[in-house]
Amino acid sequence: MLRVRLTEKDGRIETVKISGDFFLIPEDSLAKLEKMLEDTRLDEKELKLLVDRFFRGTNAQGLGVSSDDFVKAILSTKRA
Amino acid sequence: MVETWRLVDLEYRDDPFRNMSVEEAIPRAVGEGNAPNTVRFWHNSNTIVLGCFQSADLEVNFDACKASGTEIVRRFTGGGAVYHDAGNLNYAISLKKGHPLVPGNDLQLVFQKLSEGTVEGLKSLGVNAEFQPINDIQVDGKKVSGAAGSIRWGTIFHHGCILVASDLAILGRVLNVPRLKLADRHVASVQKRVTTIRDELQKDITTRDVRDAIVRGVEKVYNVRLVEGQLSKSEEAKAKELYDTKYSSTKWNLEQ
């Protein structure tokens, strides 16, 4: 299960912290993803592009979690 | 020629922080070429072990932990929180990256291949164990072991805990559960989905018996010989450094 805590400003992510019971290697790549997400618009297309770019660019490998899971979890904070 | 792996039975039952320091020092040394491929067995008493990406605030019932004297330690691998007690046997396998058993960089394959020795060991005891992706070993649909792992420091690393004779009831008290699943109902549901080796065999079995069976299972499945050994001086020094700078700190264990 993915849990996301974020602060937003004018529809953009200011800070984001992702936690959960997933596997992601290399483990320190999660901090990179959180950093990349800063200042990104809370928009499905934009988030999807960024998370996909993260996986391609870092060769990170998720298990029990996909690119779409990250996007969905981030967007769910918007509706809450 | 049969490959030889080191067998390490090093544990600090009442110091989960020191246990986890050793857990990290070994794969680091294996990857650096300073230690042979290694299988380690160990126990914790009364401890929650969090996955490296989990939030302690969200997962842990701190009041219940305080009342029951349960310690909380974070591991360096992902996955979910587990509860350890003396009825729970932990095992860890560290292989130098590139080992033909697990070629490439596929974490799912690590879990599958490096669970096989444990599955074989449990089967030899009469338990109908099978690997269940992503990272479980199940008996007739009930989880009896969960694993976590990583590929880092030049090492393929896999560790798991086996419920031999654990107290399943405490799980629902020390770990947070959604409000809808009140404690008793949660415990009931956990007990339905989870089992122990003792319950499956309907007899008293020790974690030592299970450890011995897994040693034989590992030797058979991977065609290796496990030879008892100890940590090197440099591994001991690394474990101490990891304890001092990481695993004894509240920042690492709770503030992620």
* Residue B89 to chain A, least CA–CA distance (Å): 21
Q: Which residues on B lie below 8 Å from A25 (Cβ)?
A: 78, 107, 150-152
CB contact under 8 A, A25 and B81: no
Q: Scanning every residue of chain B, which has its alpha carbon at the shortest distance from the alpha carbon of A25?
A: B150
CA B210/CA A48 separation, integer angstroms = 46
H helices of B79-232, where? 107-124, 171-174, 183-193, 197-201, 207-222
Is B107 in contact with A63 (Cβ distance < 8 A)? yes
Domain range summary for chain B, segments of one domain joined by +: 3-254
Please identify every stretch of chain A with a pLDDT value under 70, giving residue numbers as ranges: 79-80
Find out whether B210 and B164 touch, Cβ atoms under 8 Å: yes
Mean pLDDT, residues B136-155 taken together: 97
In this predicted structure, the answer to whether residue B182 has a pLDDT above a threshold of 50 is no
ipTM of the complex as predicted? 0.95
Residues of A in contact with B134 (CB under 8 A): 23, 63-64
Nearest to A21 among B80, B149, B152 (CB): B80
Cis bond leading into A26, ω under 30°? Answer: yes
pLDDT for residue B256 = 78
Min CA distance, A27 vs chain B (Å)? Answer: 8
B3-254: CATH class = alpha beta
Domains contained in chain A, number: 1
Query: Which region holds residue B104: left if phi is over 0, alpha if psi is between -120 and 50, else beta?
Result: left
Tell me the pLDDT tens digit for each residue of B11-52: 999 999 999 999 999 999 999 999 999 999 999 999 999 999
pLDDT at B243 over 80: yes
Q: Chains A and B: how many Cβ contacts under 8 Å? A: 57
Q: pTM, whole model, 2 decimals?
A: 0.95
Note the pLDDT of residue B253: 98
CATH number at residue A67: 3.30.390.50
Which residues have C-beta within 8 Å of that of residue B75, sequence separation ≥ 6?
Answer: B20, B23, B49, B50, B51, B52, B148, B159
Q: Quick check: B76 contacting A, CB < 8 Å?
A: yes
Interface probe, candidates B28, B52, B53, B110, chain A, greatest A C-beta count within 10 A: B53
Q: How is residue B93 written in tokens? A: 């396998």
Check CB contact under 8 Å for B53 and A63.
no
Q: Indicate yes or no: CB of B77 within 8 angstroms of CB of A23.
A: yes
What's the whole-number mean pLDDT along residues B182-186?
A: 46
